[in-house]
Amino acid sequence: METDAHGQAAALTLRLLGPLRLGRDGAPVTLPRSRKARALLAYLALAGRPISRSHLTELLWDVPSDPRGELRWCLSKLRSVLDTPGRARVLAEGDNVALDLSDCSVDVHEVARLLQDGVAGLPPSQLEMLSAAFGDGEFLEGLDVPGSPAFTGWLTAERRRLRARHATVLEHWVRALPLASENALPALERWLALAPFDRQAHERLLDTLAALGRLREGEEHLAATARRYEAEGQDWGPISHVWRAAKERRTGGVAIASSIIAVAPDVQPSQAVTRRASLAILPFVDRTPGGTLRGGLGDGMANDVITRLAKLRSMFVIAEGTMLALAERQVGSEDAGRRLDVDYVASGSLRRGPGTRLTVAVQLAETRSGQVVWAEEFSGALADTFAVLDEIGNRIVTGIANQVEAAERNRAILKNPHSLNAWEAHHRGLWHMMRFNREDNEQARQFFQTAVRLDPTFARPRAGLSFTHFQDAFLGWRERRDAIEHAYAAAADGVMADEHDPAAHWALGRAMWLKDSQDDALRELHAAIELSPNFALGHYTLGFVHAQSGDAQTAIEEADHARALSPMDPLLFGMLASRALALLRLGRHEEAADWAVRSAARPNAHVHIRAIAMLCLASAGRTREAKELMAAVRQADPGYGLASFAQAFKLGPDLDTLVRQATRRLQD
């Protein structure tokens, strides 16, 4: 940790973990006595980029008489300890200030570099080294700056972030050690000091104490934990059940009486249920100068996101009341995730700027890895407050849902197929399903069948199973009539399993469309959207149905809405192609061709999508491009023709006429 990014001995070292320390050639350097000068050094070092003078004065000076003068004085103090003859490290160019620490060792940056790819693949020795690098003290310990609320807020946030990173390192190090390892106990104690309400840390400590035969210490820890949890109004019952099981394993199933009494709540461990990704949404922080601390726009937006995500039924979402209670106690997002033992935590902030413009920043973090898996910033004009909040809320909900689904799919594909639970088997099936080829479709079906077998009440894999049969019928991979019946049966079973799951109604709507029951199909698709207004696939499929034989303008609106909700969706090719068909019916042939070409260019576009592009190009008079695409279609499927296309789709009279005209142009 004492080397620079190139592995060379670093002449200058800066330590931000623990008390702020500066060293040159191994000898300590005396820092300025001014707290603000030292705070400025730490802030610029951690930023690693130029910062405007106005931002720095707002950060450290609460309306002084001459903030820029005080900033210049602090920078002069930093030059006296950082700059050397021929080497200026404090750089001031125009309105910006930066530190050149490119050849220096800064402990926080070194730790971040080692953690940039996560901790899962690091060996125990490196995890131990990382934990030692964090030390036992706080980030910038003792460097609080009274009278500088902006700096205090930044310092608090960074301390929370780094505590969470340290806890993540400790957790993975402990799990890499044997259960009965004495070396694990100090790490466990440090883990709990950083995250005192992390249930998994308590459970691991109790398991370790039981494995070491230190049962009295386990009883004492459980009693202390019970008191702490009760003081916070939290349930410690699951921890007591873990301790009871650990003792029974140690004693061969014989219960041992103890003089230390900790009476757990009168509950039993819950029955095994299908695991769903769990998520907590913290109230959004209003960073508008003079903004409301609680009960304002930030709380309202978080409540809206919680309500909408809960409707998706694909995630377990912590209720608003709990999140507000944690916010009142000023619990940060990292600590909240561990207290609630959820997989993901979403947090955000908003700011109302000049010109009545609202900017909302959101990030989604994985609790156990500490990794930020998604971050985005949204903005809109507040001329119509409810409209812009609705639009931003839609985008936040869809972004979070899509990222959680993607993370869960990626996690599932890394597991041994024989060790998957129903939730994991479902997501493994989704991963294969979105490949859109015959072999992956078959593998997806097998994983969905496994999920249904493991949990017959789980509706989502039944919807996925229906989708694989839909693909068989739509793309001609199996006998059409049987595939349609299987698609319908699986979707109907999904609705029976959970009539409030939008995906189940979506699957049933698609199956009804296959059965030529368009009115019933539209009814089910509308039911899916009513259950979850942000369900992008529901909007897309409405556009898909309307594009062929319904209202063409509605098809365009629904396809556009689906793309807005899920701009990187695996089914984006279908959204684009549906829009192209609708434009073709409206006589806007050149536009239709452009959109269809975009759909065919998607990496997972199947043969029907390329056929749509071919027909739209021919309708627009772009015959050469159309024939080139026709050759590609024939190469992919030598027997493909108008009959194949007409059988797959439900073409209304106007679209059928257009398709036949385009086909004749291709034959000329």
pLDDT in tens, 197-254: 888 999 999 999 999 999 999 999 999 999 888 887 677 888 999 999 998 887 765 4
Measured distance CA(95)–CA(378) in Å, rounded: 27
* Cβ 459 vs Cβ 494: under 8 Å: yes
In the predicted model, what is the mean pLDDT of residues 347-355?
79
**Alpha-helical regions (H) of 550-606:** 552-565, 572-585, 589-600
pLDDT in tens, 595-609: 999 999 988 899 999
Query: Which pLDDT belongs to residue 558?
Result: 95
Query: Which pLDDT belongs to residue 382?
Result: 67
- Average pLDDT over the chain reads 85
Return the minimum-mean-pLDDT range out of 70-84, 141-155, 181-195, 413-427: 413-427
* Cβ 404 vs Cβ 374: under 8 Å: no
Query: Which pLDDT belongs to residue 386?
Result: 60
In the sheet with 90-93, reading across from the earlier edge strand, the strands are: 51-52, 96-99, 90-93
Tally of CA atoms within 13 A in the half-sphere of 305 that contains its CB: 31
Query: Which pLDDT belongs to residue 373?
Result: 83
In the predicted model, what is the mean pLDDT of residues 281-297?
70
pLDDT in tens, 34-43: 999 999 999 9
pLDDT at 33 over 90: yes
Greater model confidence, 10 or 516:
516
pTM for this entry: 0.61
Nearest to 135 by CA among 113, 156, 110, 163: 163
Radius of gyration (C-alpha) of the chain in whole angstroms: 30
* Cβ 599 vs Cβ 668: under 8 Å: no
pLDDT in tens, 524-574: 999 999 988 878 899 999 999 999 999 999 999 999 988 877 777 889 999
Share of the chain above pLDDT 70, in %: 89
**Alpha-helical regions (H) of 478-534:** 480-497, 502-514, 518-531
What DSSP string describes 215-226? HHHHHHHHHHHH
Query: Which pLDDT belongs to residue 294?
Result: 53
Find all residues with CB under 8 Å of 461, minimum gap 6, and list them.
422, 425, 426, 429, 447, 448, 449, 451, 452
Query: Which pLDDT belongs to residue 9?
Result: 43
- Residue written as token pair 């027909």: 615
Token output for 592:
């239709």
Query: Which pLDDT belongs to residue 13?
Result: 93
In the predicted model, what is the mean pLDDT of residues 181-197?
88
Q: What is the β-pairing status of strands 372-381 and 357-366? A: antiparallel
Query: Which pLDDT belongs to residue 259?
Result: 43
In the predicted model, what is the mean pLDDT of residues 414-429?
77
Token output for 547:
């594009």
pLDDT in tens, 375-415: 888 887 766 656 677 777 788 888 888 888 777 777 677 66
Query: Which pLDDT belongs to residue 359?
Result: 85
